[in-house]
Amino acid sequence: MLDDVRVLAWGASHAVRLCATLIERAGARISVAEAASPDDFAHDVIIVSSDVCTAAQRSAIAELKAAGKYIVCDITAMGPQASRAGTAWSDAQVQAISGLMDTTGFANGEPVRIGVPFAEISAALYASAAIAAALRVKRLRGIVQNIDVTLFGCAASALTTFLPAAFAGAAAGRVGNRHPACAPWNAYRTRDGWILICTSTEEQWRKIRRVAGVPRLDAPRFATLRDRVRNVDELDRLIETWTATLNTDECSALCERIGVAAGPIVTVKGLSAEPNFRMRHADAARQIDAGGIDRETYGHVSVFGVSRLADNAHAMSRTTVDSDALAPHVGPLTGIKVVEIGQYTTAPLVGKHLAALGAQVVKIEPPDGEVARSWTPGQAGTSYFFALNNTDKQTISLDLKQEADRAYLRTLLADADVLVENLRPGALAKLGFGREALGEINPRLIYCSISGFGIRSAYPARPAFDTVIQAMSGLMDLTRSNGEPVKLGASGADILGGQAALFAIVANLAGPSRQAGTFVEISMQDVAAWCALFASGNPAPAGVVVLCIDGHVWLDSDERLSADALVECATRARCASLTRTSAVAALADAGVRAVPIARVHELIADSDFLADVLSVARDAKGTFWPVLRVPYRLSATPARICNVPGEPRSPMVSAACVSLT
Side-chain-side CA neighbours of residue 614 (13 Å): 20
C-alpha dist (Å) from residue 232 to 190, 236, 407, 504:
19, 6, 43, 39
Query: What is the per-residue pLDDT for 322?
Result: 61
CA distance 501 to 178: 26
Average pLDDT over residues 481-501: 95
Reported as type and span, the H/E element at residue 448 is strand 446-451
Confidence bin at 181 (pLDDT 50/70/90): confident
Closest-CA residue to 488 (of 476, 474, 473, 472):
476
CA-closest candidate to residue 268, choices 469, 530, 533: 533
How confident is the model over 586-606, as pLDDT tens digits?
999 999 999 999 999 999 999
Query: What per-residue confidence (pLDDT) applies to 314?
Result: 58
In this prediction, residue 12 carries a pLDDT of 81
pLDDT value at 548 more than 90: yes
Query: Worst-scoring range by mean pLDDT, 113-127, 170-184, 645-659?
Result: 645-659
Is 461's pLDDT higher than 60? yes
**Topology alike, domains 6-76+114-157 and 164-263+303-540+632-661:** yes
Average pLDDT over residues 210-234: 95
Give the pLDDT of residue 652.
64
Summarised one tens digit per residue, pLDDT across range 351-368 is 999 999 999 999 999 999
User: What does the mean pLDDT of the chain come to?
Assistant: 93
Query: How far separated are the first and last CA of the chain, in Å rounded?
Result: 26
Rounded average pLDDT over 514-520: 86
What is the chain's length?
Answer: 661
Does position 100 have pLDDT exceeding 90, yes or no? yes
Looking at residue 375, what is its pLDDT?
A: 87
Number of C-beta neighbours around residue 436 at 10 A: 14
Rounded mean pLDDT, 578-592: 97
3-state secondary structure of 120: helix
Q: Are 531 and 121 in contact (CB under 8 A)?
A: yes
Instruction: Give percent above pLDDT 70 in the chain.
Output: 95
Q: At residue 655, does pLDDT exceed 80?
A: no
State yes or no: pLDDT of 656 exceeds 50: no
- Asked whether residue 449 carries a pLDDT value surpassing 90, the answer given is yes
Q: What is the DSSP letter of 169?
A: T
Q: Is the pLDDT of residue 68 over 60?
A: yes
pLDDT at 39: 63
Give the model's pLDDT for residue 128: 98
pLDDT above 90 (res 136): yes
> How many C-beta atoms lie closer than 10 Å to residue 363's C-beta?
25
Kindly list the distances between the CA atom of residue 619 and the CA atoms of 291, 294, 349, 623, in Å, as whole numbers in the listed order.
55, 49, 18, 6
**pLDDT tens digits along 264-293:** 999 999 999 999 999 999 999 999 999 999
CATH number of 6-76+114-157: 3.40.50
| pLDDT tens profile 9-38 | 998 899 999 999 999 999 999 998 865 565
Q: Counting beta carbons within 10 angstroms of the beta carbon of residue 402, is it exposed (0 to 12), middle (13 to 18) or buried (19 or more)?
A: exposed
User: What's CA 508's distance to the chain center, in Å?
Assistant: 19
Structural domain boundaries in the chain: 6-76+114-157, 164-263+303-540+632-661, 269-299
pLDDT for res 373: 94
Top-confidence range, 46-55, 83-92, 382-391: 382-391
Which of the four CATH numbers 3.10.20.310, 3.20.20.110, 3.40.50.10540, 3.30.565.10 does domain 164-263+303-540+632-661 have?
Answer: 3.40.50.10540
pLDDT in tens, 308-344: 998 865 555 554 566 666 677 799 999 999 999 999 9
Supply the pLDDT for residue 172.
79
CA distance 520 to 561: 46
Residue 254, CA distances (Å) to 207, 208, 250, 351, 492 in order? 11, 10, 6, 34, 26
Cis peptide before 184 (omega within 30 of 0): yes
